[in-house]
Structure 1
């Protein structure tokens, strides 16, 4: 029996301030593709940018595009060629697909290849459709099986947790170290949790708002500071700083809060163009400034850590909305003073489609 529906409910960005929940066609899968019934999708900053600005940096919407790349669900129809998880398997998704590029990059760091296509990205045209849909067709190579007992709401954090895990790994051995995390949105909070698991002795979390600091404390921060308290931040004297705010003031705080000879990992993506940063201080203190972009196979380690309980990140999920309320969910996710990670639930939409078939 063909279990691929002809249409499905999806969240589609059409332009600036124009995101719609609508029915879209579901194409038949190729032999190496599976059909996944999506349970939950986490709203990322990139989704918010496509909603508010119709673009993420230089990636500009030129046609309607399904949003979303942080998803979990169940395999509805396994790949016909026998690859990937079997039907009925709970899965999360590695949203990157690698294509050939003539541009040089390290063989062991494919995340740096310009040939990557990422789900829900307008970096190329035609755009790479995202996975905010009740049923979605995906390459089997993107799917990662989850242990049956794994909470899917928490597993929806696997992709952003892999981003944070990748960033924390750039800092090296954290055992017994003092860590400063600047910016405690979902990525920053996940970095706190990853640093705690890596053995950091102290973790100081910084943010403008109280809600993110409360979340950071719940997942492992030993101290919290307001971003406006620049003197206290400078006094932290951290061995390692994770900068996840994505603005130049946060990077300035990261540099000031690092100890001499320390490491600053920059995972927050600053806007394009020149940024006013106190780089002289980084030079005279011999700081190591390290960029961190997306991830490679760390998502497999994250899945294992979520499943065995050693990465307790449940408190980072603060809201869950049915897909029909996607606009309200986007608005809540855009307000860092009231939310952490906001999820969309596609469960009701999938059940409705199943009843109609």
Structure 2
């Protein structure tokens, strides 16, 4: 067992996030990675604001962060990894033993240990630290020519590529994306990269609508514009596939009306515990409602798409802040009128 004292961004509870010393311990079979930078996600913001993210409640201090990249400082022999390699870190740690994992759906593992998550106790520390220790399987090397600030989008992009896969073949399809935050915008780019002929976005924020267009949306509309949304219900619905990325109850309920008969809705926005849902129209139109949660092999795909420039996420990068300014960075990331994605630099 080796140990190292590092600085880390640690959540203690609601409105109590501190930059403090943290003891990192690791076994010989782990990879020691010097973290370069990481993106602040919605779950990090929830831990910062509320001391919980959904049903995952902080019971002890936890290092935040699950969207991060770094440089290998030490790797086990025969791991195929070497010191000096730049890597994206896959924060997923499925058990690989249960029936779900063995079926190839590791994202649904019932005992998934996900970095920066308080779902289980002891909590799983995240990557907002000077150094982390991870398994070789979590390390995805990328070309030295790619920018770390680009590759740091691998985790949210993987979520979006998985959602697009849930929808099936998008070639020539007309697509609607509800919610144009970072996830919605990356869904837009992923859908277009997967062959969609048109992608329309909705968001109540003018700033988010502008970002959606910058990320490739054909148009971006305010969902409160009844004239536009009424047109989308013509002939039983105008969109082949709808991705709901906002989690807002009103948006979730509206998707059925916008989806053509026989079409598909992919739900990846979280937040609403209960929704008054139009189940009757869903049935008579034979619309398929599909959930989408995290990712599997799409993490490697995301790294490849980013390093080759298939998707450019940089319009979403609103600010970069030093780890010493983590609390201010979290507050900025929480203000959706000012920021889409904020990255911490370590």
TM-score band (shorter)?
A: over 0.9
Residues 184-209 of structure 1 show CA distances to partners (whole Å, capped at 9, x for unaligned) of 11110100000110111111011111
Residues 178 and 51 of structure 1: is their aligned pair in 2 closer, same or farther, counting only changes over 3 Å? same
For residue 239 of structure 2, what is the aligned residue in structure 1? 238
Q: Does the 8 Å contact 1:100/1:115 carry over to 2?
A: no
Matched, 1:260 2:261: yes
Deviation readout 1:86-109 (Å, 9 max, x if unpaired): 110111011111226657577021
The Cα of 1:72 is off from its aligned counterpart by 0.6
1:81 Cα deviation after fit: 3.6
CA distance in 1, matches of 2:54, 2:81: 35
Match of 2:73 in 1: 76
Residue 64 of structure 1 corresponds to 61
Q: Is the 8 A contact 2:268 2:292 kept in 1?
A: yes
Q: Distance in 1 between matches of 2:166 and 2:230?
A: 22
Q: Deviations over 1:267-326 (max 9, x none)?
A: 112333x32222222222211100000000111111111122111222121111111111
TM-score (norm 2): 0.94
Distance 2:316 2:3 in 1: 33
Between stretches 276-285 and 128-137, larger displacement belongs to 276-285
Find the counterpart in structure 2 of residue 17 from structure 1.
15
Compared CA separation, residues 319 and 253, structure 1 to 2 (3 A): farther
Number of residue equivalences: 340
Instruction: Give per-residue Cα distances to partners, 1:223-243, cap 9 Å, x unaligned.
Output: 010121244234331111110
Aligned match for 2:83, one of 76, 81, 87? 87
Unaligned runs of 5+ in 1: 347-357
1:172-251 matches, within 5 Å, as 172-236=168-232, 237-251=238-252
Instruction: Identify the match of residue 50 of structure 1 among 33, 44, 47.
Output: 47
Does structure 1 conserve the Cα–Cα contact (< 8 Å) formed by 2:96 and 2:106? no
Taking the aligned partners of 2:17 and 2:246, their CA distance within structure 1 comes to 25
Query: How far apart are residue 84 of structure 1 and its match?
Result: 4.6
User: Structure 1 residues 220, 204: closer, same or farther in 2, change over 3 A?
Assistant: same
Partner of 1:269: 270
RMSD of the TM alignment (CA)?
A: 1.7
Distance in 2 (CA, whole Å) between partners of 1:106 and 1:243 is 29
Q: Does the 8 Å CA contact 2:94/2:101 hold for their aligned counterparts?
A: no
Moved more, 277-286 or 147-156: 277-286
What's 1:291 paired with? 291
1:37 to 34, 50, 54: 34
Using the alignment, how far apart are the partners of 1:141 and 1:7 within structure 2?
24
1:194 aligned counterpart, secondary structure: helix
CA contact under 8 A between 1:101 and 1:115: conserved in structure 2?
A: no
Asked if structure 2 preserves the Cα contact closer than 8 Å seen for 1:233 and 1:256, the reply is no
The answer to whether the 8 A contact 1:211-1:339 is kept is: no
Gaps of 5+ in 2: 233-237
Is the aligned partner of 1:331 residue 2:331?
Answer: yes
Structure 1 residue 160 and structure 2 residue 161: aligned? no
Q: Is the 8 A contact 1:212 1:339 kept in 2?
A: no
**Aligned pair 1:316/2:319, yes or no?**
no
**Cα offset, 1:254, TM superposition:** 2.1
